[in-house]
Amino acid sequence: MKVLFLAAEATPWIKVGGLGDVAGALPQALRARGMDVRLMLPRYYSIDPGKYKLEKVVDNFSVYMDWRHEECQVLRDPEREAYFIENDYFFGSRANAYGERDDPERFVLFARAALEACKRMGWYPDVIHAHDWHSAAAVRLHWAAPERAALVFTIHNIAHQGYVSNSKWPLLGVYDAAGPLNLMEQAIYAADVVTTVSPTYSREIRTAEYGFGLEGVLRGKGDRVVGILNGLDYDSWNPATDPAIAQHFSADDPTGKRECKRALQEEVGLPQRADVPLLSVVSRLDSQKGIRLILDALPEILSLTHAQVMFLGSGSSQYESEIHGWTAGHGNRIASFIGFNGDLARRIYAGSDCFLMPSSFEPCGLSQLMSMRYGTLPIARATGGLADTINNRINENWTGYLFGPYDKGAMLGAIGRALNDYPNSALWTGAVLRAMRADFSWDRSAARYEEIFNWALEVRG
């Protein structure tokens, strides 16, 4: 099976969010199942052709863009079978994947160029797998093609949608729309199968609370909206081999986690106490991630418990300022690092006892998978992928703590349950080991995607 995999970001070349992790790992897992998968993304200025030994495989070709033509080329990373659309104006002169005023036009060019590149290479995919609105135009453009490929569209975050202005309709083969075109909506309509990144999220986005205006079109797809959990790269995220942490450990021998906690407390300036639970936050600092709930709960956490709290992240200047203030006033209980440090994040996962993730919504989430892999029990809101990956304390074989309503009291209740369990070493260690042994590998996810691709081929007919 030949699969064209379209995304705006992918590790290791460029990563902004969780999409980058998925687009970097899933194609490899699909190839391991015998598929011919070609990942294609824009070649931004920040992607160094020399560093990745990119080679030109398609020379100059023109892509129609309204009143002009844009010259494109195709570069290839032979080691990872990734292809890059080269265009000086829209991508080659810009370092960032997102945040440009003309993003919709940029990504329409990407879609048109990607489809043309396949023709130029003489490679015709059986399935086109497009991710989020940045690749959505390819689904809409290819939909009416004769003998077209099956079309699978994956929604990573429905809150982010792209709109093409009225004057750009012809770029998508549309001539009679009433108002700006929503690229994500167009892809949902055209796709043979729509997937999201967790089963719970696939149900949530069909409601007005979570659908961001697209719940109607999603409900109209019937059973052709499916949730598949993202995976985690277990080779990269492995406490038994991770060079960034103080001491290696595993589910078979977890003793090294104690040293990781002591070393983390020392590194961030907290008292080195094994008996005090350490709660951590590694997150983008914005409202979706529940940072407001955590900050509002700090007075109760400080007064009613003896827990320590560690923050790592950046985002809202208001949240950054508040975290600075709490750290300055309570340095023996609260530590923080504003910004992002990948190695420190790994040490936090390895050295913490609990991981706070009270998201207002969470399509899938990777941080809870990383924390569990490193034996840190998540305390999270039961939404999206959090509800699908964390086995709640009330269940047998539990691996973390979930709460329902998005409010401070519900979150504090879950924190209280965790801190009540923490002194019971046998109970706590059992949950830690179950969390570390949970299987959220990409192998499992890839098998499900293979089923979806075959189904999409049947739907296409």
**In terms of domains, do 306 and 402 share one?**
yes
CA–CA dist 211, 461 (Å, integer) = 29
Peptide bond into 243 cis (omega under 30): no
| Of 58-72, 93-107, 133-147, 291-305, highest mean pLDDT | 291-305
Answer whether residue 291 is part of any domain.
yes
pLDDT of 167 reads 63
**In terms of domains, do 197 and 283 share one?**
no
pLDDT digits (tens, 9 = 90+) for 128-147: 999 999 999 999 888 878 78
Range of the domain at 51: 2-231+443-460
**In terms of domains, do 146 and 181 share one?**
yes
Does the structure show a pLDDT above 90 at 199? yes
Q: What is the CATH number of the domain that holds 452?
A: 3.40.50.2000
175 falls in which pLDDT band (50, 70, 90)?
low
Burial class, 369, CB count within 10 angstroms (exposed 0-12 / middle 13-18 / buried 19+): buried
Answer whether residue 81 is part of any domain.
yes
Does the structure show a pLDDT above 80 at 367? yes
Answer whether residue 241 is part of any domain.
no
**In terms of domains, do 221 and 309 share one?**
no
Q: What percent of the chain has pLDDT over 70?
A: 97
Mean per-residue pLDDT for 86-106? 90
66 falls in which pLDDT band (50, 70, 90)?
confident
Answer whether residue 73 is part of any domain.
yes
pLDDT of 421 reads 98
Mean per-residue pLDDT for 397-411? 97
**In terms of domains, do 449 and 374 share one?**
no
Residues paired with residue 82 on neighbouring β-strands, in sequence order: 39, 77
Answer whether residue 246 is part of any domain.
no
Does the structure show a pLDDT above 60 at 228? yes
**In terms of domains, do 70 and 108 share one?**
yes
Does the structure show a pLDDT above 70 at 447? yes
**In terms of domains, do 456 and 373 share one?**
no
**In terms of domains, do 170 and 260 share one?**
no
- Per mean pLDDT, which range of 12-16, 117-121, 401-405 is the poorest? 12-16
- Per mean pLDDT, which range of 86-100, 110-124, 244-258 is the poorest? 86-100
Answer whether residue 65 is part of any domain.
yes
pLDDT of 217 reads 98
The tokens for 262 are 């002591």
Provide the CA 391 distance to its chain's centre, in angstroms.
20
**In terms of domains, do 447 and 427 share one?**
no
**Backbone dihedral region of 290: left (phi > 0), alpha (psi from -120 to 50 degrees) or beta?**
left
CA–CA dist 244, 251 (Å, integer) = 18
CA–CA dist 337, 314 (Å, integer) = 9
| Three-state SS annotation for 67-125 | CEEEEEEEEEECCCCEEEEECHHHHHCCCCCCCCCCHHHHHHHHHHHHHHHHHHHCCCC
pLDDT of 16 reads 86
The count of domains in the chain is 2
Does the structure show a pLDDT above 70 at 169? no
CA–CA dist 124, 194 (Å, integer) = 21
pLDDT of 168 reads 64
**In terms of domains, do 269 and 304 share one?**
yes
Answer whether residue 346 is part of any domain.
yes
pTM of the model as a whole: 0.91
Answer whether residue 313 is part of any domain.
yes
Mean per-residue pLDDT for 291-296? 98
Q: Residue type at 391?
A: N
CA-to-CA separations, 439 to 154, 229, 416, in angstroms, rounded: 22, 11, 27
Mean per-residue pLDDT for 150-179? 79
Mean per-residue pLDDT for 291-298? 98
360 falls in which pLDDT band (50, 70, 90)?
very high
Does the structure show a pLDDT above 80 at 170? no
Nearest to 81 by CA among 60, 61, 53, 109: 53
**In terms of domains, do 452 and 428 share one?**
no
**In terms of domains, do 425 and 401 share one?**
yes
